[in-house]
Amino acid sequence: MLQGARNAAQAPTSSRMKHAAASTLQAIAPLLDALRALPGLTEHRPGIFHLRSAAFLHFHEDPAGLFADVKLDRTGFERLPVNTREERKALLRKVESALGSSSSARARRAGSLSAPAQFIEVKVKPNAATSVLRQEPGGAWLAQLREPPVDGKANAELIALVARHFGCRKSAVSIKSGASGRTKRVKIESP
């Protein structure tokens, strides 16, 4: 991309800019789910994605709106607006292109960008008498685990429990956020 075109695409910055709040991130949940499904991206905190070990994409809000800062060329951040559905689709296309993602093409042929994976929020209770995964009446997931939360034992048991419940391989289940907390975001890859 030409430098002049890049600068024209960038949104003006404001001294009142801040990372996007949780309520703002909820408004762009479909975009976040599509980003979480892309291979190679890891969500370190809600709305903050890394590629391998380097920061790659995060969201900011200021009086001018909501923006994504993304390293499309993997060297410097580029600011793109994500206020409208079209702007969010454009961001996703640019990220897919930058990653060279083949899974996004499969997802598009299947008719949905988030088709390759399912995400669930699980509240974990370690040191339980039995190992159980169940969905509460309100839709929340609860996992009672026998293992203590030491040296990743409870996380390994959770992955096995989720895989058994959803009928998939353990390698298709991963903890995307909350690995050291009681509430975890778990990704389940579809076959």
Name the residue among 56, 185, 43, 55 with its Cα closest to residue 123.
185
Tokens 């801040």, residue located = 18
94 and 128, same structural domain?
Answer: no
Full DSSP string of 47-94: TEEEETTEEEEEEEEETTEEEEEE-TTSSS-EEEE-SSHHHHHHHHHH
Q: Which residues pair with 42 in a beta bridge?
A: 50
- pTM above 0.85? no
Rounded Cα distance, 126 and 74, in Å: 39
Percent of the chain scored above 70 by pLDDT?
82
pLDDT in tens, 76-107: 899 999 999 999 999 999 998 888 844 444 44
pLDDT number for residue 16: 65
129 and 103, same structural domain?
Answer: no
In the chain, the number of structural domains is 2
Of the three residues 48, 83, 110, the one that is the final residue of a domain is: 110
122 and 92, same structural domain?
Answer: no
Domain that residue 38 falls in: 3-110
Least confident range from 134-138, 153-157, 174-178: namely 134-138
Close Cβ partners of 118 (under 8 Å, ≥ 6 residues apart): 166, 187, 188, 190
The residue ranges of DSSP E strands in the chain, in sequence order, are 18-19, 41-45, 48-51, 54-62, 65-70, 78-81, 117-125, 132-135, 141-144, 173-177, 183-189
Rounded Cα distance, 14 and 174, in Å: 37
99 and 70, same structural domain?
Answer: yes
Rounded Cα distance, 1 and 20, in Å: 27
103 and 18, same structural domain?
Answer: yes
Which amino acid is located at 30 in the chain?
P
Of the three residues 87, 110, 133, the one that is the final residue of a domain is: 110
Contact 49, 57 (CB under 8 A): yes
Name the residue among 23, 28, 107, 22 with its Cα closest to residue 67.
28
As a whole number, the mean pLDDT across the chain is 81
128 and 78, same structural domain?
Answer: no
Least confident range from 35-39, 89-93, 144-148, 154-158: namely 35-39
64 and 30, same structural domain?
Answer: yes
Close Cβ partners of 59 (under 8 Å, ≥ 6 residues apart): 19, 20, 24, 25, 28, 47, 66, 67, 68, 69, 82
CATH number at residue 161: 3.30.1200.10
